[in-house]
Chain A
């Protein structure tokens, strides 16, 4: 296992294009795959599987947002609204037309991509702060529309019950059954993003991020790629929204508020902007943080506070930790957890001869 690269010895195009060129990366990937396929579902408790499922949904959403914000440099504060578009599209298809999941998921994604593309149109003229505020407006307008148009939201409290997905004749009722379903889509999203980012489109995104006027001058159709980034990002968001709806068994607009948009932004900031691994780290971190805070205070909070006040402290402490971590990473480690991971990896890569 102590393999180290000593140079570039690629002699075929296939080797040059490999996603994981080093044997150690391939071994690590195989290890992670085995862990997720065989260890997690059998060793984890029900509670931990539930949390893992949440993480898997968040990975899809965070990857989508990172394509837009991290790779293309277009700030969006409306990610959760696109998730809700996907969620309600799928919920309507499933309840009205009995659509199976393999129609509901792409349909939710495509609908979100359409809406996302429309929201992205102002990005032709405005950028930075203005774009952030425009997407904030989109968040409110989409939320309001879903809540008030009964054709979309139906039912009581604008929520729609969704039956569990049926895969190969099996109803995925429990979280443990859903785990493999969600794992498949999270893995698909990861591989798709990796491939997207080394394609022509991905490189154009990065050029637009680094300097959009310069990108336009070297012949990149800036507007087209900005719109594409919005559409692709929203497609991921829509898919994440559908997956989340399956996870909850209900589509509810309250699950896709502005705070969820901010959660996703926090994921990619803390994980690392413009990094796939960073999106995954961020999704894990932000999903586990509230649970960890709660568990810690429920178990050890009694040492400092009375039981009654702990219930009051938990949500507030969670908010404070959340905000403080965002600021901490922005000020001290702008490249996020991904950078920390790279530092560790590079240290061991040349260990024990660091020069």
Chain B
């Protein structure tokens, strides 16, 4: 291995880290909801896509400036998340896990159909005031949108970590996640925190949608980002924010390296495939992930 392409390797690595922290942001939306409500959101990718469509629609159809379309997208996603929690997920409380999984899969189909009907099938751009010329760091070439995306993601991840550890609301949400009945007995309004968790999931999805949308363009394919969430989550542990960060970085780096080194060997497509192999390995060895909480089951 004397002529190992180090420069290529580092470019892939840096790229993987940046993309990975943006995966972490999308995964964060999943963790927030799972942590507080025990509900699994298979529609996370569609949430991201829908948020992207909202932002792109506000910017391109109504001509709103970028900050206004961002705010509109966030507000729209929060309203949507509140509504869905109320109409779809609340009636499913306490039902078998397949019910929630299928309901969010159904939701995904509805969101995909609605978005294409409302905004058209073409790819739209989200204009952000970020330069297009690549950022040079030593031998590395980094696209600025990825740097901004990574920075925003990490800021939000840190913010939510603080929120769950220190703030009163965050502690109440952890109590709800831990044991709903005990939380109720301690005077916590469980329903309110469920709605709040979905609202926060909406905010994070909106940010993810805007960042990913401005990087890839907004169309139906944007929802595929959601498929990457599962390896990220399983790797890191479903209910851990730190896990989402580490899982996101690992998946980002692994798929970037796979795309760089393995693709030429086997003819493409490893990017979507290797994270899942990694995930299967984790599931076999340590199902609760790196930072997840082990659950003890009783009859």
Give chain A's interface residues, CB within 8 Å of chain B: 69, 73, 75, 77, 122, 125-126, 128-130, 132-134, 136-138, 140-141, 144, 147-148, 211, 213-214, 217, 262, 265-266, 269, 273, 312-313, 315-320, 322-327, 330-331, 334
Contact = CB atoms under 8 A, between A and B. Distances in A.
Contacts of B97: 75, 128-129, 132
A320 B267 contact: no
Interface string B206-226: 000000000000000000000
Contact of A148 (B116, B266, B277): B266
A141 B277 contact: yes
A323 B279 CA distance: 28
Contacts of A325: 106
B287 A144 contact: no
A323 B99 contact: no
Contacts, number: 131
A69 B102 CA distance: 12
Grouping DSSP codes into helix (H, G, I), strand (E, B) and loop, the A interface class, with mixed when no group exceeds half, is helix
A125 B103 contact: no
A343 to B, nearest CB: 20
A144 B102 contact: no
B117 A330 contact: no
B131 interface: no
A213 B110 contact: no
Contacts of A273: 98
B264 interface: no
Contact of A320 (B40, B110, B284, B287): B110
A318 B102 contact: no
B287 to A, nearest CB: 5
Grouping DSSP codes into helix (H, G, I), strand (E, B) and loop, the B interface class, with mixed when no group exceeds half, is helix
B273 A141 contact: yes
A134 B280 contact: yes
A144 B269 contact: yes
A331 B112 contact: no
B91 A331 contact: yes
Q: Which of B105, B238, B267, B272 lies at the interface centre, i.e. has the most chain A CB atoms within 10 A of its CB?
A: B105
Nearest to A76: B98
A316 B117 contact: yes
Contacts of B233: 133
A147 B270 CA distance: 12
A331 B88 contact: yes
B101 A317 contact: no
Contacts of A327: 88, 103, 106-107, 110
A208 B108 CA distance: 30
Nearest to A269: B102
13 contacts: A75-B97, A125-B283, A129-B97, A130-B234, A133-B283, A141-B276, A141-B277, A211-B299, A214-B299, A320-B110, A323-B105, A324-B106, A324-B110
Contacts of B267: 148
Contacts of B63: none
